[in-house]
A and B are shown apart, each in its own frame.
Chain A
């Protein structure tokens, strides 16, 4: 009898824990509602990077996030709400951005995110707003001048949840890929000699090389990375509005200005 009551007690506890867990999982807000949600809250919540020079970098002095992604996001806020300051930036990493979007914590992802078929199953993308290519960042005196120079046990650093890890594994199946929480940590590890090279899109690598002149970016790129803005799956209305914004920026030349301001040259 005692065993019975113990077992019943245990299963009750288990049932309680499971139901509590189920309850915790917040349902993503209805896909159609993003524009309505934005208007209701009076601002767009944009998931952006905080640690990427040239795209999304938080300036410690002013506390402002700056970069190409930020400028594009502001233009979308201007289109939807008529005010480019009606926007709140929330930090995302390659790892957190899709779950946060699906969960309703952010309304869109403007965070150097490559459009991939795999991600398209989870979220929808706008048109391409930037095309980068994956390359390597190596110490200035490194003997690596091409992806082919990566030796069998060379350690290549990158961030979790990025396409970069998969691409480099495909390009150099023998390479040992180490995935860090974000690119700032990966770069710190590279500086400390934890790896031979850091790999991600060249646009990001240029930003790092600019911060620390002891590193250089290889000329060669081994992938093509079209960046898109991520919205919740099925949210066609919002995606369309973003695409209209991007088209307008192209047409009125503002896109070229933003590009040149951050990348330092005109888009090809």
Chain B
């Protein structure tokens, strides 16, 4: 038998500890990167040029370097430069948040900017302020466009949290690595790790589908 179920039954406690780590990492990082990403997106679409540059620089820098590099930088670079040691779990959270927020900012920016400009102009000429126009005209249409790419980013985030293992922070992948070095049954160990990831990601995936259906498509506005 290629897959040994004893690997799962004998090490279930460690898988669950790992799963807990991955869930905690994903939830915290999801919330933090959404907030940070939204703030960066605001910078990117603001009419103030210097702020736009800051936002764009952030997005282009962090989405164009590998996550593992950011993670290592936070783990060992930051202490060497500043003398502040972040424990591995916090290092991982920071890296994951900084990285994911760049993608989220980009998704939000693209969604908002793909609402035709005429809508903003029409809203403004009917007497709404810029913020009112955003709130009542642009954003409701943008939400539908932003959901699919945001959903993708959240799925990626859960999977990317496996970066924690190289920082020796306890997540599903770290525990799987340790189980592997005890059992030497590499195949079974990681098949079960994959299963646990699917338990997290499949419901998330369906949740995103549901949201996509709930928010109706707006005529004339295409992603």
- Chain A, Cβ-Cβ closest to B78: A192
> Is A20 located at the chain interface by the 8 A CB criterion?
no
Near B by CB (< 8 A), chain A positions 106-157 give 119, 122, 157
Q: Which of A177-185, A206-214, A243-251 binds B?
A: A177-185
Known contacts: A99-B186, A179-B178, A180-B168. The answer to whether A192 contacts B85 by CB under 8 A is yes
Over the window 119-154 of chain B, the binary record of Cβ atoms lying under 8 Å from chain A Cβ atoms (1 yes, 0 no) is 000000000000000000000000000000000000
Kindly list chain A residues whose C-beta atoms are within 8 Å of the C-beta of B184: 98-99, 102, 119, 122
CB distance from A141 to the nearest CB of B (A): 16
- A95–B79 touching, CB < 8 Å: no
> Is B53 located at the chain interface by the 8 A CB criterion?
no
CB distance from B95 to the nearest CB of A (A): 14
Known contacts: A122-B184, A178-B168, A189-B75. The answer to whether A160 contacts B85 by CB under 8 A is no
Which of B80, B165, B180 makes the CB contact (< 8 A) with A191? B80
Per the bound structure, the CA–CA distance linking A217 and B181 in Å amounts to 26
- Chain A, Cβ-Cβ closest to B81: A192
CB distance from A99 to the nearest CB of B (A): 4
Kindly list chain A residues whose C-beta atoms are within 8 Å of the C-beta of B77: 192
- Chain A, Cβ-Cβ closest to B189: A99
- Chain B, Cβ-Cβ closest to A103: B186
- Chain B, Cβ-Cβ closest to A100: B186
Known contacts: A179-B168, A192-B75, A194-B76. The answer to whether A160 contacts B88 by CB under 8 A is no
Which of A22, A119, A179, A193 makes the CB contact (< 8 A) with B177? A179
Per the bound structure, the CA–CA distance linking A185 and B191 in Å amounts to 26
- A188–B181 touching, CB < 8 Å: no
- B80–A189 touching, CB < 8 Å: no
> Is B69 located at the chain interface by the 8 A CB criterion?
no
> Is A25 located at the chain interface by the 8 A CB criterion?
yes
> Is B166 located at the chain interface by the 8 A CB criterion?
yes
Interface size on A, residues (CB 8 A): 25
The bracket for how many chain B residues form the interface is: 20 to 34
Per the bound structure, the CA–CA distance linking A188 and B75 in Å amounts to 10
> Is B48 located at the chain interface by the 8 A CB criterion?
no
Kindly list chain B residues whose C-beta atoms are within 8 Å of the C-beta of A221: none
- A160–B2 touching, CB < 8 Å: no
> Is A21 located at the chain interface by the 8 A CB criterion?
yes
- A22–B76 touching, CB < 8 Å: no
> Is B187 located at the chain interface by the 8 A CB criterion?
yes
Kindly list chain B residues whose C-beta atoms are within 8 Å of the C-beta of A94: 181
- B187–A25 touching, CB < 8 Å: yes
Per the bound structure, the CA–CA distance linking A209 and B25 in Å amounts to 35
Kindly list chain A residues whose C-beta atoms are within 8 Å of the C-beta of B174: 179
> Is A161 located at the chain interface by the 8 A CB criterion?
yes
Kindly list chain B residues whose C-beta atoms are within 8 Å of the C-beta of A161: 177, 180-181
- A189–B187 touching, CB < 8 Å: no
Over the window 57-86 of chain B, the binary record of Cβ atoms lying under 8 Å from chain A Cβ atoms (1 yes, 0 no) is 000000000000000000111011000010
Q: 16 A-B residue contacts at CB 8 Å?
A: A21-B191, A22-B2, A95-B177, A99-B184, A99-B186, A119-B184, A162-B181, A178-B88, A179-B168, A179-B177, A179-B178, A188-B76, A192-B85, A193-B79, A194-B85, A194-B87
4 nearest A-B pairs in the assembled complex, by CB-CB distance: A161-B181, A192-B76, A178-B168, A192-B79
Residues of B within 8 A of A (CB): 2, 75-77, 79-80, 85, 87-88, 165-166, 168, 174, 177-178, 180-181, 184, 186-187, 191
Q: Known pairs A95-B180, A181-B165, A192-B76; list 13 more (Cβ under 8 Å).
A: A95-B177, A119-B184, A157-B168, A160-B177, A160-B178, A178-B168, A179-B177, A189-B168, A191-B76, A192-B80, A193-B85, A194-B79, A194-B85
